[in-house]
Structure formats: structure tokens, C-alpha cells
Structure 1
Amino acid sequence: MSDKSPKPQEPDTDVHDDPDEPAFEWMKPASSGATSAAGNSAPADAATKAQPASSAPTGSQPESRTGSQPAAPTGTQPESRAGRKAAEAAETEPEPPLFAGSSPAGKPTGGASHSEPLPTSALQVRPPEEEVARRNAEREQAAKVKPLAPRIFQVLLAIFFPIILLVLAVRAVASPLFLWIEYNRPGFPGDGYGFSTEDRMTYGSYAVDYLSNWAGPRYLGGLVHEDGNQLFKDSEVSHMADVKLVILSSFGAGLLLIILSFIAIMYLRKKSDGGVRRGLFAGSIVTLVIIIGLAVLAVLSWQQFFTEFHRIFFASGTWTFSLEDTLIRLFPGQFWVDAGIVIGALVFLAATVTFILTWPTRRRRGLGAKSADANEAADVEAEAADPTKDSATTKR
């Protein structure tokens, strides 16, 4: 064999990507109309090449590796598996439409076009007019109805207010300061049985202190005169014990009402705009009515008023004494008249000040700010309607 002699062609050992493709020609299935013998004539090969690709059975590959490998005809599948997968994906998966109801080319997709509504499209649907009117009426009615709890606290505050003022006034009178003012004021009657002003101040201070401390009856029963006799009789000590029970009970009730009133005020300040003012205003009116009524009864008949007052709190026969008894000498009738006047004056003064401070003016009711806002809104509308008109003239 010389160098010029043609070299024998080596078998095709190219390894394709597709593992299912046979490595040798003789392993491939025979095409329809072609013979399996290697010595077939050229007309048979030409007929095989001229056979349309559609006549090949499904899954067969009309490739021929006899001699030189011919070029793959147009429209055939790629030789590699990856290429065939890409071609199949391109044929089976259409392009996503540009918008709902249209094809990739911008044309409708044959059937009735359907576009999914936007998430907020339901908000644009207006309910019927009857439903709108009903809802507006319910909203207005709910706005007009006020909560019950603030009203209850306002009523309680109005009831507690006169009682608290009365208790505080009684506490101011049942003090050594008021006792000193009474004994030293001009015109106060003296004692016809020998007590001086200093004696009255000393013994009277014991009696007043006993009403507000936690001492027992011996606090007064153990007091004696200079001659060694008992200062207060047993009947007087017993009556002072009854008075102490009433005074301490009233002080305790007053303290409890003050705490409850403080709670009501804190609640109304958070839950009701102007609720504290309305409660105190109503309480001041109630206090003025009560104190004026009691003052009229006391002026018309003081003795009857004093007697009925004692009958309410004390048993009959336990609060009457002779002029020689120590209680009458220390606290004559004029003392109780002055005490009643001071208690009424203090309550009346406090109620009057509260009445003035809580009077429902337009500013306190919040109408001043609302009127100002309404005027500003009217000015803005007037300027929008007539821009050439001066705003200052509009405000006037």
C-alpha cells in the first residue's frame, strides 16, 4: 500500500449526547421501503431518499450513515437530545399573553375575552339608595345616643357634692379655732355660773377634741372641777358619745364620698368631654336649693328647727339639759345659732363659686371653636365663589 492509495475510512465513533441513539448503523431500525442488504442498488437508495419524511414510522429516524453522512433535511429534529427537548418546549409552550384576553400577537384568543377584575373593583360598587339612607340614619342615631355610664357618674357627682360640702363645713365648725373665735367675739353671752373665757376655752376644747378622736367616754368623764367634783355628768357624757358617733360617721361618709367623687371625676375626664363641669354644675344647683330651703326653715322658727334636727339623730330625752349643766354653760344657744350660720354660709359660698365657675358658657360648651370653624368655612366658600371679593370684607 503506497501513500497515495486511499486510506480506509474509519467507522464513525462519534458519541452523541442522546444515549438512546444507536452507535452503529446496523443497530438502527430499517426504514420503510429500504432493504437491509449492504449491496442494494443506487435506484433503491434514491427511492429511499426521495421518500417523504411523513412516511417514516413514529419514533424512527430517517438518517443514513452509509458512506458520507448526508445533511439533515429542513424541518427534522436536531440530533442531540438537548436540542430536541428545546424544540419540543418551544412548540408546546406558547408565549405568555401581553394582557388578559389577548394572544401574544395582540389578537383576541378566539373565545369571549375575560379579564379578571381588579382587587379594588368591589369598592366601586355603590349600594342601593335605600341602604345608604338606612345606614346614615343608624349612624346619626348612634351618634346622638350618649353612653349610660358617664350620665350615672354625673348624677352621682351631683348628689355627692352637697353632702361633701356640708361635712367639710361641719368639720370647720367642730374645731378649736371656731371655738376660740366664738368665745372672744364681741356680744357672745358669758357664763353666769362662774366660767371665765379661759375656763370655757379649756373645757370646751376637751369636748371638741373628744368628737374627733378615738378616745372613750372616760376622756370627758374623768374631768373634774377645782373643788374635785365631776365636770360632766354621766348624762352629758352619754350624749357626747352619741354626738361623737354621728360626727365620726359623717366624717367617714364624707371621706368615702370624696374618694368616689375623685374616681368619678377621673372617669369623666377621660370618657366625657365636659362631664365634670356638668356634674358639678348640677351639684351646685342642688346644694343651693337645699341650703336656701334649710335657711328659710331656720329663720322662720329656729327653736323648732333645732328640736327637729336633734330628734332625727338622738333619742328623745337624751339631749335636754338644765342651764346649770356644763354642756349648756360651754355651748349656749347662741353658739348653735352662730354655728348654723357659719355652716350655711360656707356651704352657700362654695356652691355659689362652683356654680359660677361651671356655668355653661359657649366657650365651655365648645361652641366658640365650632362657630369659628364654621365662619372660616363660610369665608373659604365665599372666596371660592367670588375670588375678587376681599376676604376681610367677607369676614365682616
Structure 2
Amino acid sequence: MTYTTRPQAILLLADGTVFYGKSIGVSGTTFGEVCFNTGMTGYQEIFTDPSYFGQIMVAANVHIGNYGVNAEEIESDSVKISGLVCRNFSFNHSRPDSEGSLYDYFEKQNLVVISDVDTRALVSYIRDNGAMNAVICTDGTPIEELKKQLAQVPNMKGLELASKVSVREPYFFGNPSATHKISALDLGIKTNILRHLAQRDCYIKVFPYNTPFSELQAFEPDGYFLSNGPGDPEPLTEVIATAQQMMASNQPVFGICLGHQILALANGVSTYKMFNGHRGINHPVMNLLTGKGEITSQNHGFAVNREQLEAHPDLEITHYHLNDQTVAGMRMKSKPVFSVQYHPEASPGPHDSSYLFDDFVGLLKTVVH
């Protein structure tokens, strides 16, 4: 397909703003909350991250698809974004270990993509006006009809999405003979999280998001893990109750991203939807325990209320985001429970925060059966 024969496409934002571009060839219409990622690499990991479920991704990097795809770089069983907006989509790719083109991958997943968009202007617009719902259309549907359809799409605030991406049946990951056992609650878990734990001599049983605590406990784990995931944490009342039981067990608990927010809510600290979330592999975080800065991989549109956290008698902030001072990590004073708002498994991203898995395993070693 040549540039001139590619169909026209549009991105319509909820406030009526329209951006024009070209379809990469997969025809259709797709809806979601529009957001942007500032990472310069790692697009396949981003597209398959369950935390992006229900979102239209704007790639800040100008080239997408130029190094193809590889089966080792997926974070779940399928593409999880609702659609993609990019500047230059590369139909050709060049990398020695590439297993195919991104276009073929998207075609198999039936993902609607608009390219040739002025993404610098679009990212700037989202930063000024906030995250909002949007629609990509490549099939010529009139704008007025798209506006009517877009008005019916629910807002991300109050939207429970973990159930859409969680595993349906429990499964195991790692070496059954490993020293440590972990019960992990899948709210949208990334494969690289499991790899990090397995590399540290852990055997993990991954459970559906709504699994009762009694079933998690029946595995006789040394500790519990609450994963990342999409959507608003507040509607997950069952998960919040399960997290409270995890904490009451006095065993180690580690939460990442959505899991971090769940642990805050389980301690009576509220969460809120951010004007613009944090999405990228270059976010600066201050570690208050070490006094050192870290570059982190982040993907979230909700955050923990800092004032309430600072006023809580049994919680303390361990990390904060240097750009806007939002909470990036916390721990309990009386229990071996801690969490971070970002992604220490860093796929993609820097490895500054992989020590957090070591910290968790260090706590597991203190468990006496």
C-alpha cells in the first residue's frame, strides 16, 4: 500500500477537536481515553501492557514500527490498547531478531491505527486540556455521527476494568522447587513482573482478580503480590477487602501501580483521577529512604491522595514524583507491606528500580512457617 492510496482517517476528541491523518490499512472505528507515552522505545511492550486497556495511545516518539516485533517482548497474550495514534508508521522494519512487522501484528489483532498525525500538537493539546475520551475512525463515518457515539462512551473515572484483563483461571509461573512461594492477584499483570520474581527464586501462583483471600492463603505462600492494571481502583471493593486481609496476615505484601492504589484504599487513603497521567520510561522519582533519584517506567492515570497519606499514623511516603510531587511509593510502619506507583519491572524502561523485587524477596526470607 502506498502513501497516496492509504485511506484518510480522523481522531475526534470528546471536546469536538479533530486531528486528521491516514489509516495504516486496518479499517474501522475504535473508542477509548486518549493518552500519550513519552518513551522512545519499547512500543510492543507498551501496546501489550494490560494497564492500557481501554485507552487510545498517542506515541510521542516520531517513528513506530521501525524495528518490528518479537514474541519475547509481549507483556500479555494480546494487544491491550484500543487504538494507536502516531506520526510516522514504518511498514518496513530492520532488526536482526525481529520476527515480523508491526503492521502484520496489528492486522492479526485488528487494531485501528491513525498515522501522519501532528503528534507534537496533539500531545501539547492533551497536556493543556487533560485526558479525555476519543475515537479513531478510518471508514468515513460522518463526524456528527461519531460525536453521538463518543458521547455514549463511559468516562474512565469510576470505570472498573481489571475484570476485563484478569486471568480466568489460576496458573503457575516459575520453578515449583523454588525457595519462596507467592500468591499474586492478577489485576492486569505484566509478564516481566513474573520473570523478575521467578529469577529471584520464587514460585508464583497467579489468581483471578476476584479470588477470595482464603484461596490465596490456601497456596501457603510466603507473601502476597498485587499487580498493575487498568481503570479506576475505587470500584474494586472486593479486591480492597482482600488487600485488608493480606495486611492482617502480617505476611509481606508488595503492590505495583493499581496494586499500590488498592493498598492505599485498603488503609482508608483515597485516590483520584489525574488531569494527565504519567506514561513513559523516563519519569524522575526521589527515593526518600536513600536520598537518591531514580528514572522510572510509569503508566497510570490515577494517584494516591498525598495529604491523607502523610496524615495516616501507620503509613509513610517512600518515593515521590519529582515533576509534580505526587506519591510514587509508600510503606506501612507496623507491617511488611509496601508499594510503588510505577513499574519496577521496567519493560520497557530503565533498571533503576529493580531493587524493589530484591526488597520483597528479603521480606519473604523472614517468614517462618
TM-score (normalised: structure 2): 0.19
Structure with bigger helix share is 1
TM-score (normalised: structure 1): 0.18
Structure with bigger strand share is 2
